[in-house]
Chain A
Amino acid sequence: MENIVSIKGLSKAFGSHRVLKNIDLDVKKGEFITIFGPNGAGKTTLMRIMSTLVEPSAGSISIDGFNVKDDPVEIRKRIGSISHETYLYSELTAEENLRFFGRMYGMDKNHLDDRVDELIEQVGLEYRSNDRVGTFSRGMKQRLSIARALIHQPPILFLDEPYTGLDQHAASTFESVLRGLDAQNTTKIMISHNIDRSLKMCDRVLILNNGKIVFDKLRHDVGSIDDFKATYESFVHE
C-alpha cells in the first residue's frame, strides 16, 4: 500500500531547545497509528507540524503528495482534526457550527445540507441539532467535534489526546462513534498517553520519547495492554 504520510529527517527546535530530532515516519493509507509518549516528548509539536500550524526547522513532510512547507492549504483540505479542544462555538447551535466549518472548507450549499444531516445522525445528536453547543455535555461536544472534523470527508484524521476530559462512558461512546463512522478508509493518527483506551483502537503503535521515535510495531506484535505498559515504562523511564 502507498504511504499517505511520509516524514523524512524532521527536526524542530524552539530557540536552543530541540523538541524533535531527526524523525522518519511513513504511514500507509488506511492505517490507524497511535503515538504514545510522556509530556514534553514532542508529540504535540509533531502533530502541529503535520497539521501545518508550525513550520519544521529541518526535514520534509509530505501528506497525500503535498509538502507542508509549499502547500499548507492543500494539506488542510485533506486533514480533519479532533483534539481535546472541541473547536466549537458555544453560542452557535450544533448545526450552525457544522455549517460554518463546512463553508470554511469551501463546500457548496446542497452538498453541505446533506452532509450536516448525515453527520448529526451518525454522532447521535439529531434531537439536539438546534440547541446551542454551550448547553451540551463534554461528551456531546466531543462527538460533535468528530462530525466537525469529518465534515469535508478528509482522507486523514488527526486525533490529539481526544480522551482528555471525557469520563468512561463518554469515552466509550466516543470510540463507538469513531468506529461506526464512514471513516473506515480514513488514515488516522492519534497521540495519547492513555494506554488503556488508545491501544485497542489502533493497528500500529509508536512511542515518542525525548524527540525521537524509540518504538514502532504493529498492534498484534506488542501483546496485551500490560505487556505494552511494561515496554512503555522501559523506554520512558530508563
Chain B
Amino acid sequence: MIRSLHIAAKDLKAEFRTKQMLNSMVIFSLLVIVIFSVSFGDLLGDSETVSQLAPGVLWIAFTFAGMLGLSRSFASELENGCLEGLKLCPVDRSAIYTGKAISNVVIMFLVELITIPLFAVMFNYNIQGLLGLVVVIVLGTIGFISVGTLLSALTVNTGTRELLLPILLLPIIIPVIIPAVLATGKILVNGDISDISGELRLLLVYDIIFFVIAQLVFEYAIGD
C-alpha cells in the first residue's frame, strides 16, 4: 500500500511539473460543456429541460476528459521502458495498479473541481446538495477510473491504443454512467442525499467489484 502511494506520488509529481495532461483534460472538459451549452441554445431557459439534459452533459464531459487522461496514463510509463523498470521492482503487480488508479483519480477530481463551476454557470444551476453531489462524483469517478486504469494498461502495448481504449471502455462503464447521471440529476433538482441511495449503492457495488477484479487480473494486462 505504501508503495502504491509512492507510485501515485511519483505520477502526480511528474504531472504537476508539466501539467500537460491536466491542462488538456480541463480544457477538453470545459469545451464539451461550452459546446453543449451553445448547441442547446434557447432550451437552456427552460429549467425543466435543463434538469433533464445537464447531468448527462456533465458526465459526458467527465468521461471524455477522463479518457484523454487514461490514454496517457500508461503510455507515459512506456517512455524509457519505465513500466518494465517498475515490473522489475519487488512490488506486487496489483500495487502498481493501485498506485496508477490513485493518481488517475486525483487528476480526475481536479478536472471535475474546475469543470463544475463553469457547468453551473453555463446551465444556470444553483448547486444545492453539495454533499450529495460530491458523493456521487467521488463514487462515479472511482468506478470509472478502476476500469479505465485496467484498460489503459491493457491497451498500452497494442498498436492502436488510442482507438482501442474508448471502444473497450465505453461499453464497460455503462453501469457507472447511468446511475451517476441519474443521481446527479436528482441531486441537482432536490438536493437530498436520501433520494439517491439506490444509485449510490449501485455505484458502490460497481466500484468494489471492478476494483477487486482489476487487482486480480492486472498482472496479466501488463505481463508479457
Contacts and interface: CB of A to CB of B under 8 A. Distances in A.
Asked whether any CB of A lies within 8 Å of a CB of B in the complex, the reply is yes
Interface of A: 48, 51-54, 73-74, 76-77, 79, 81, 83, 85-92, 96, 100-101, 103-106, 132, 141, 148
Interface in B85-142: 85-92
B3 to A, nearest CB: 6
Contacts of B163: none
Interface string B10-28: 1001110110000000000
B81 A87 contact: yes
Nearest to A75: B90
A111 to B, nearest CB: 16
A105 B90 contact: yes
Give chain B's interface secondary structure class. helix
Contact of A91 (B3, B18, B88, B91): B18
B84 A53 contact: yes
Given A91-B14, A100-B6, A103-B3, A53 B80 contact: no
Contacts of B84: 53, 83, 85, 87
Interface of B: 3, 6-7, 10, 13-15, 17-18, 79-82, 84-92, 224
A83 B85 CA distance: 10
A73 B18 CA distance: 33
Contact of A86 (B6, B7, B81, B91): B81
Given A103-B3, A104-B89, A87 B82 contact: yes
A32 to B, nearest CB: 20
B6 A103 contact: yes
B1 to A, nearest CB: 13
B210 to A, nearest CB: 26
B82 A76 contact: no
Contacts of B91: 73, 104
A104 B6 contact: yes
18 contacts: A48-B224, A74-B90, A76-B90, A85-B85, A86-B80, A87-B80, A87-B81, A87-B85, A88-B85, A89-B82, A90-B79, A91-B13, A91-B18, A92-B17, A101-B85, A101-B89, A104-B89, A141-B80
Given A73-B91, A87-B81, A87-B82, 7 more contacts: A52-B88, A73-B92, A76-B90, A85-B84, A88-B85, A89-B82, A104-B89
Contacts of A141: 80
Contacts of B87: 53
Contact of A76 (B3, B89, B224): B89
A104 B3 contact: yes
Q: Which 6 pairs of residues, A with B, have the shortest CB-CB distance?
A: A87-B85, A85-B81, A91-B14, A104-B89, A76-B90, A77-B90
B121 to A, nearest CB: 34
Given A83-B81, A89-B10, A92-B14, A73 B90 contact: yes
Contacts of B6: 100, 103-104
A27 B143 CA distance: 48
A73 B90 CA distance: 5
A90 B80 contact: yes
Contacts of A52: 88
